[in-house]
Amino acid sequence: MKPTFCMFMIILLVITSQASAFAITSDSLMCSGGIVSVGDMVLDVLRKCGQPTYATQREQKFVEVDDFLGEHIITTIVIDDWLFNFGRDRLQYRILLKNSRVWRIESLDYGY
C-alpha cells in the first residue's frame, strides 16, 4: 500500500505543478478602474484597465447554419487578443474581444 500512496503523491505533485500552464476562464476581471465583464465594449475595458501589455488582432471565420434556408453561411469576424500584466503579485489576464466586445476572459499565471 505504501508504494501506491507514493505514486499517488507523485502524480498529484506533477498535476499541481502543471496547473499554472492552463488558463482558467472567468466572467469578469477586477481592474483599478472597475470590473470588466463579458459583453463589455472595448472603450469600457480601456477606461477600467488601461492599455494592454500586449495586443494582437486576427480574423477568424465562423460557419453558421441558416435555419430557414438550410444553408451554411461563412462569416469573418475580428478577434482582438489582449494581455494585461498587473505585476508579480497579481495574475495576468487575457481578454478576447469579438467585434469590439469582450467575448472571453482568461486568468493566466502570475505577472512579471
Question: For 75-103, what is each residue's pLDDT tens digit?
Answer: 898 999 999 999 999 999 999 999 899 99
Domain boundaries, the chain: 26-110
Comparing C-alpha atoms, which of 107, 86, 100 is closest to residue 43? 100
Domain 26-110 CATH class label: alpha beta
Q: What is the residue type of 4? A: T
The string over 51-79, giving b where at least 16 C-beta atoms fall within 10 Å of a residue's C-beta and e elsewhere, is ebeeeeeeeeeeeeeeeeeeeeeeeeeee
Rounded-to-integer distance, Cα 35 and Cα 20, Å = 23
pLDDT digit string, tens, across residues 32-82: 999 999 999 999 999 999 999 999 999 999 888 888 888 888 889 899 999
Comparing C-alpha atoms, which of 109, 107, 46, 33 is closest to residue 80? 46
On the question of pLDDT at 20 being above 80, the answer is no
pTM higher than the cut 0.75: no
Please name the residue that has the C-alpha cell 500500500: 1
